[in-house]
């Protein structure tokens, strides 16, 4: 049984394991189980509930996204029909007119092992993408709450430790050139930009590692804008889709930054004018020095006398 789970696993962390149902109602049908053995829902410890239901909530969105469904049916077991009772949830992709009769009939097996692996791989990608987007922006598809906004540009060691624990390996994979499949969808591309442009800055603060993902993030952001894909994102998501331009050490990137943040302010209203103001502050530095002097020490670059004088003043660093 464990071998079958390994082959069908779509997500795993210290709390939960999610894997493809071996007799799916529809392709993309996923089981989510807590790693601690629990028979029924009411046996969960209160402190276990938030983490488990965060994963279940994200799974209910990721499953139809990956499987091409219109919605998701989520069901919890009730001991009956289990050879070994263990708490678990079913997340089943649904579409109108899909022919589902009752809760779990008829079943639709995968065409073959290749089709099953393709679905498993896609689900693995989408689940992780959605966890990243939720972690950064919060749930839903609207403006982020103040709880999330105040974390974006604040140095917080506790927050960085959580970020490293949850997504440190994902960042390493992205920096090594992996996760290329994420580039094929707007949400996947946005999640990858966050990993390459923001997570790197949190986890590599004051070192060259902070900028290791910039080149790839800039390419991804540029392609989003050129294809007008950025217009499918929420206003808060667009803020981070354009940050790779602001971080670029060239007049070209700064021009793009100013253009996109001005456009965002016009379309989204006064609330987002502040991001244009910060973009302008960045652009002035690049126009003056052709680079960000505050990066010199981390990147092993010699600062000019003018840059040294600048670094002693206010608004000279963006760590």
Active site amino acids: 88
φ, ψ dihedrals at 49, nearest 5°: -60, -50
Bridge partners (DSSP) of residue 11 are 18
CB 104 within 8 A of CB 25: yes
Pairwise CA distance, residues 191 & 121, whole Å:
17
Rg for the chain (alpha carbons), in Å?
23
Pairwise CA distance, residues 52 & 130, whole Å:
15
CB 35 within 8 A of CB 45: no
Pairwise CA distance, residues 34 & 17, whole Å:
6
Classified as helix, coil or strand, 5 is: helix
């Amino acid at each position: 049984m464990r071998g079958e789970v390994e082959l069908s696993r779509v997500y795993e962390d210290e709390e939960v394991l999610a894997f493809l149902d071996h007799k799916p109602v529809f392709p993309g049908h996923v089981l989510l189980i807590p790693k601690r053995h629990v028979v029924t829902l009411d046996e969960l410890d209160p402190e276990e509930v938030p983490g488990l239901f965060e994963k279940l909530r994200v799974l209910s969105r990721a499953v139809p996204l990956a499987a091409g469904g219109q919605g998701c049916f989520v069901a919890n077991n009730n001991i009956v029909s289990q050879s070994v009772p263990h708490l678990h949830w079913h997340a089943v992709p649904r579409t109108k007119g899909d022919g589902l009769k009752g809760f779990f009939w008829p079943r639709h097996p995968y065409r073959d092992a290749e089709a099953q692996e393709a679905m498993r791989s896609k689900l693995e990608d989408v689940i992780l993408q959605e966890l990243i987007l939720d972690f950064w922006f919060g749930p839903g598809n609207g403006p982020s709450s103040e709880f999330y906004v105040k974390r974006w540009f604040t140095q917080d060691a506790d927050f960085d430790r959580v970020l490293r624990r949850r997504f440190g390996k994902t960042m390493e994979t992205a920096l090594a050139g992996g996760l290329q499949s994420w580039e094929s969808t707007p949400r996947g591309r946005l999640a990858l930009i966050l990993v390459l442009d923001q997570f790197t800055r949190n986890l590599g603060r004051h070192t060259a590692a902070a900028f290791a993902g910039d080149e790839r993030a800039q390419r991804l952001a540029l392609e989003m804008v050129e294809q007008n894909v950025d217009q499918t994102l929420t206003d808060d998501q667009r803020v981070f889709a354009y940050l790779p331009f602001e971080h670029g050490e060239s007049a070209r990137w700064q021009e793009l930054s100013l253009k996109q943040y001005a456009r965002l302010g016009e379309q989204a209203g006064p609330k987002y004018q502040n991001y244009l103001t910060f973009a302008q502050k960045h652009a002035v530095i690049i126009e003056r020095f052709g680079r960000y002097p505050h990066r010199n020490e981390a990147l092993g670059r010699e600062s000019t006398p003018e840059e040294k004088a600048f670094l002693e003043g206010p608004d000279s660093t963006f760590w």
